[in-house]
Structures are given as C-alpha cells and as structure tokens.
Amino acid sequence: MSQVATAVYAAGAVCWRVIDGRIHVLVVHRTVHGDVTIPKGKVDPGETLPRTAVREIAEETGLAVALGVPVGVSRYPLPSGREKIVHYWAAEVTDKAVQASTFRPNAEIAALEWVTIKRARSYLTYGPDREILDNFSALVDQGVTETFALIVLRHGKAQTRSSWKGEDTARPLVERGVRQAAALVDTVTAWKPRKIVSSPAVRCVTTVAPLSAKTGIPVKRDDGISQDAWEAGNDEVRRVIGKRVRVGKTAVICGHGPVMPEIMREIALATGTPLGSYVTDAASLEVGAFSVVHLSSSNPSSGIIAIETHAPVA
C-alpha cells in the first residue's frame, strides 16, 4: 500500500460479536471530542496499516483481535489541509477476548458500547464511519461475516541462480531477504495465522523462520509446492491448497514466484471462484510480498470474498 507524503494515515476495524443471536458492533465514545466512532488510530513510524489496526484496538478497547476482511478506506480533509486516510478491516471479537479486556475509562475513551448495526448507524457521529459500517453490513447480509485467510507469501530476496554454485533448493536469502523475513512478522501476525506451510527450499523456510519463532507455530515443509516439483510437472499444489481450504483456519503458505499463479488458481478453483484478473494480479508478487485471500468459514465454496496484497516492508 503506497503512502502519500502529505497524508495522515490511520487504521482501525469494525469489531463485531454475536449477542443473543444477533450481530453487534463496537462503538467508542471519545472523551475529549465528545463523539462516537469506530475504533481507529494513527500509524506509528515504521508501522504497517494492519499492525496499526490491531495495536490501536488493543490500546483503545483492551481487546486482542485478529483482522478479517478489509471493509473500506475513508478519506477526508483535516483542518490543517492534509488528507486523512483510514484503512478498516472487520474483526471478530471472541468471548475470551472480551473476558480478557483490560479497558477502563480514560482521557481518550469514555466508554465502549456494543450495539446492533442499525443502532450503530444512528450513533456514529461521522459520515465516513457510517459508510464503513454499511460495507460491513453488506458482508452480514451475504452471510460471509465469519472468515479465515490464506496468506500467500513469496519468499524474500535470495541469492541469484547464476551466482550460486550449489543445489537450487539450498540457495540462501541475501541480506535484504533476511530483513524482509524479519519485517513481515508484525504485519502477518495481525491475522493470527494458525498454520505455516512452506516449500522445503532454504529461501522459503528461512523467510518464515522469524514468523515461526514469534508465534511458536512449527513450519510444515511440503514438497508439493516446491519449485523443483512444479518445474518437473509433478507438484501437488491442489492437494496442499485443498487441505487448507477444508481445514478452514488462517494459514501462511510460503512459496516461489513461478508457483504463485498455480497456488492462486487452486484457491479459486477450490472455492468456486471464477478466474479473473484480480486472481492473476494477486499472484504477481515481488520477493517478500504477500496476498491475503479471505474465505468464508461457514461456506468456503461461496468463493473468494476479498484479496489484499501487501508489498515487502524491507
């Protein structure tokens, strides 16, 4: 996501949970401004937008959340003349997160309130917030609120084939690739992955090693998505992707540039999604970049709900 130098960037989320069989969303009553908004906050220096959203929600509400589907971007002018650009996601709040919340009224937030979507629309002070809420409401109407993500990651910058004398699978990351691997951790953990699957190539395993160390999730090495298998025509991308769709848990899949189109194609086929340019575009990743493919937890065959692509941080 490119950032305009004169703009002020922020991120937040429509936090939601089911209460008495109905979806409720969280609104915050701000102390100083005396208004009612969706939780959000400004990006810290060097921070990515997904990480900002998770951090700000934790700071404002005491709730630990995993991001879900992106639900829009608000743009509006500030009194200073600069433009404020706010990226929003949906975020399901578990009962465990509610019970663990440490929120107390403070100088910034006076109160938190869980309300129905209809009531939230009447409560919210600002038009842009209501537009974001309407985007979320559309997901509710479609019955695809509960989601999981397949995070398709291309390995970091590696030593070139021409300069490497050993086996291709042993080709290591260069210094930039190592920085990319470390830098992606804060962003990817915003979706709270439950599984890490990687090609066994050193450049892939090394790319997800910092993520594995941070989350405690072991790396599952699978020859089925290796570049060697793909080049030999005996890859098992369909098996690997099919299992991840069936399991229905957020997972990171780290592979190679030439294999990315096949991975995205199999996600589309496994979910009944018509193939289109947006699927192809999501596979055209730089080294160290990744696409987050959002799928319905209750009905994965309803197709891809959204795709967001993130450039490498380093």
Instruction: Please give the pLDDT value at position 218.
Output: 98
Residues 289, 173: Cα–Cα separation, whole Å: 14
Same topology, domains 8-142 and 147-310? Answer is no
pLDDT tens track for 218-250? 999 999 999 999 999 999 999 999 999 999 999
The total of other beta-carbon atoms located within 10 Å of residue 3's CB is 11
Share of the chain above pLDDT 90, in %: 86
Which residues have C-beta within 8 Å of that of residue 139, sequence separation ≥ 6?
Answer: 69, 71, 90, 145, 305
Q: How far apart are CA 237 and CA 229, in angstroms?
A: 10
pLDDT at 3: 47
pLDDT digits (tens, 9 = 90+) for 167-197: 999 999 999 999 999 999 999 999 999 999 9
User: What does the domain layout of the chain look like in residue ranges?
Assistant: 8-142, 147-310
- Predicted confidence band at 5 (pLDDT cuts at 50, 70, 90)? low
Q: How confident is the model at residue 300 (pLDDT cuts 50, 70, 90)?
A: confident
Residue with tokens 């070139």, as numbered in its chain: 160
**What's the mean pLDDT in 55-76?**
96
User: In CATH, what number does 147-310 get?
Assistant: 3.40.50.1240
- Alpha-carbon distance of 295 to 247, in angstroms, equals 12
Work out the pLDDT band at 1, boundaries 50, 70, 90: very low
pLDDT single digits (tens) 139-152? 999 989 999 999 99
pLDDT for the residue numbered 15: 98
Residue with tokens 């509960």: 146
Radius of gyration of the chain from Cα atoms?
A: 20
**Residue 79 confidence (pLDDT):** 85
Q: If we measure between CA atoms, which residue out of 25, 15, 34 comes closest to residue 97? A: 15
The CATH T-level fold of domain 8-142 is Nucleoside Triphosphate Pyrophosphohydrolase (3.90.79)
